[in-house]
Structure 1
Protein backbone atom coordinates (compact mmCIF):
# COMPACT_ATOMS: atom_id res chain seq x y z
CA UNK A 1 0.00 0.00 0.00
CA UNK A 2 1.41 3.40 -0.98
CA UNK A 3 1.40 6.15 1.61
CA UNK A 4 1.46 9.84 0.78
CA UNK A 5 2.40 12.49 3.34
CA UNK A 6 2.59 16.23 2.77
CA UNK A 7 5.61 17.50 4.69
CA UNK A 8 5.86 20.89 2.98
CA UNK A 9 5.01 22.89 6.11
CA UNK A 10 7.54 20.95 8.17
CA UNK A 11 10.51 21.24 5.82
CA UNK A 12 12.70 24.02 4.51
CA UNK A 13 11.60 24.88 0.96
CA UNK A 14 14.79 23.36 -0.52
CA UNK A 15 13.84 19.94 0.84
CA UNK A 16 10.12 19.83 0.01
CA UNK A 17 10.65 17.75 -3.13
CA UNK A 18 13.31 15.39 -1.75
CA UNK A 19 12.86 11.71 -1.01
CA UNK A 20 12.74 10.29 2.50
CA UNK A 21 16.33 9.00 2.48
CA UNK A 22 17.65 12.41 1.41
CA UNK A 23 15.57 14.20 4.05
CA UNK A 24 16.76 11.86 6.81
CA UNK A 25 20.38 12.45 5.76
CA UNK A 26 19.92 16.23 5.76
CA UNK A 27 21.02 18.48 8.61
CA UNK A 28 18.40 19.46 11.19
CA UNK A 29 18.17 22.91 9.55
CA UNK A 30 16.25 21.21 6.73
CA UNK A 31 13.32 21.27 9.16
CA UNK A 32 11.25 24.44 9.00
CA UNK A 33 12.17 26.77 11.85
CA UNK A 34 15.68 25.46 12.46
CA UNK A 35 18.81 27.26 11.23
CA UNK A 36 22.47 26.43 10.69
CA UNK A 37 23.06 27.78 14.21
CA UNK A 38 20.83 24.99 15.51
CA UNK A 39 22.87 22.52 13.44
CA UNK A 40 25.97 23.56 15.37
CA UNK A 41 24.30 23.28 18.75
CA UNK A 42 22.84 19.85 17.95
CA UNK A 43 26.16 18.65 16.48
CA UNK A 44 27.73 19.24 19.89
CA UNK A 45 25.33 16.56 21.14
CA UNK A 46 26.23 14.18 18.29
CA UNK A 47 23.13 15.02 16.24
CA UNK A 48 24.16 15.81 12.66
CA UNK A 49 21.16 14.64 10.64
CA UNK A 50 17.39 14.57 10.88
CA UNK A 51 17.68 10.80 11.38
CA UNK A 52 20.00 11.38 14.35
CA UNK A 53 17.52 13.86 15.79
CA UNK A 54 14.55 11.55 15.36
CA UNK A 55 16.31 8.55 16.84
CA UNK A 56 17.89 10.35 19.80
CA UNK A 57 16.60 8.61 22.93
CA UNK A 58 16.09 11.87 24.84
CA UNK A 59 14.09 13.57 22.10
CA UNK A 60 12.09 10.36 21.57
CA UNK A 61 11.31 10.14 25.30
CA UNK A 62 10.25 13.78 25.38
CA UNK A 63 7.90 13.15 22.44
CA UNK A 64 6.34 10.16 24.19
CA UNK A 65 5.86 12.14 27.42
CA UNK A 66 4.12 14.96 25.54
CA UNK A 67 1.87 12.43 23.77
CA UNK A 68 1.02 10.80 27.09
CA UNK A 69 0.12 14.15 28.64
CA UNK A 70 -3.01 14.26 26.51
CA UNK A 71 -3.96 10.70 27.54
CA UNK A 72 -3.81 11.13 31.31
CA UNK A 73 -6.50 12.61 33.33
Structure 2
Protein backbone atom coordinates (compact mmCIF):
# COMPACT_ATOMS: atom_id res chain seq x y z
CA UNK A 1 0.00 0.00 0.00
CA UNK A 2 2.93 2.35 0.57
CA UNK A 3 3.42 2.78 -3.18
CA UNK A 4 -0.26 3.57 -3.69
CA UNK A 5 -0.84 6.04 -0.87
CA UNK A 6 0.63 9.11 0.73
CA UNK A 7 2.35 8.23 3.99
CA UNK A 8 -0.39 9.63 6.26
CA UNK A 9 -2.96 7.26 4.72
CA UNK A 10 -0.94 4.01 4.77
CA UNK A 11 -2.43 2.79 8.05
CA UNK A 12 -6.06 3.64 7.23
CA UNK A 13 -8.72 0.98 6.74
CA UNK A 14 -10.25 0.38 3.32
CA UNK A 15 -13.46 2.07 4.50
CA UNK A 16 -11.45 5.15 5.46
CA UNK A 17 -9.47 5.11 2.22
CA UNK A 18 -12.61 5.09 0.09
CA UNK A 19 -13.72 8.25 1.92
CA UNK A 20 -10.28 9.87 1.74
CA UNK A 21 -9.58 12.75 -0.63
CA UNK A 22 -8.17 11.83 -4.02
CA UNK A 23 -4.91 13.51 -2.98
CA UNK A 24 -4.39 10.58 -0.59
CA UNK A 25 -3.22 8.60 -3.63
CA UNK A 26 0.51 8.76 -4.19
CA UNK A 27 1.33 11.17 -6.99
CA UNK A 28 -2.01 13.00 -6.97
CA UNK A 29 -1.41 16.61 -6.01
CA UNK A 30 -3.91 18.97 -4.41
CA UNK A 31 -4.10 20.72 -7.79
CA UNK A 32 -4.81 17.40 -9.55
CA UNK A 33 -7.56 16.74 -7.01
CA UNK A 34 -9.01 20.19 -7.62
CA UNK A 35 -9.08 19.59 -11.38
CA UNK A 36 -10.78 16.20 -10.92
CA UNK A 37 -13.40 17.86 -8.74
CA UNK A 38 -14.02 20.60 -11.29
CA UNK A 39 -14.16 18.29 -14.29
CA UNK A 40 -15.87 15.21 -12.88
CA UNK A 41 -17.15 16.17 -9.40
CA UNK A 42 -14.69 13.67 -7.91
CA UNK A 43 -13.78 14.41 -4.29
CA UNK A 44 -12.83 11.05 -2.80
CA UNK A 45 -10.95 7.90 -3.74
CA UNK A 46 -14.34 6.18 -3.87
CA UNK A 47 -15.71 8.79 -6.26
CA UNK A 48 -12.71 8.20 -8.53
CA UNK A 49 -13.07 4.42 -8.42
CA UNK A 50 -16.80 4.58 -9.13
CA UNK A 51 -16.63 7.19 -11.88
CA UNK A 52 -18.28 5.82 -15.03
CA UNK A 53 -15.68 7.32 -17.36
CA UNK A 54 -12.71 5.91 -15.46
CA UNK A 55 -14.42 2.54 -15.12
CA UNK A 56 -15.19 2.43 -18.85
CA UNK A 57 -11.59 3.33 -19.73
CA UNK A 58 -10.27 0.66 -17.35
CA UNK A 59 -12.58 -1.96 -18.84
CA UNK A 60 -11.49 -1.09 -22.39
CA UNK A 61 -7.82 -1.26 -21.47
CA UNK A 62 -8.30 -4.58 -19.66
CA UNK A 63 -10.10 -6.03 -22.69
CA UNK A 64 -7.45 -4.76 -25.10
CA UNK A 65 -4.66 -6.14 -22.92
CA UNK A 66 -6.37 -9.54 -22.70
CA UNK A 67 -6.41 -9.79 -26.51
CA UNK A 68 -2.63 -9.42 -26.86
Where does the alignment leave 5 or more consecutive residues of structure 2 unmatched? none
* CA RMSD in angstroms, aligned pairs only: 0.9
Give the number of aligned pairs. Answer: 67
The one of the two structures with greater contact order (alpha-carbon pairs below 8 A, sep at least 6) is: 2
Greater share of helix: 2
- The structure number with the bigger radius of gyration is 1
TM-score, normalised with respect to structure 2: 0.91
TM-score, normalised with respect to structure 1: 0.86
Segments ≥4 residues shifted beyond 2 Å: none
Q: Which residue pairs with 1:10 in the alignment?
A: 4
Map residues 1-73 of structure 1 onto 2, 5 A cutoff: 7-44=1-38, 45-73=40-68
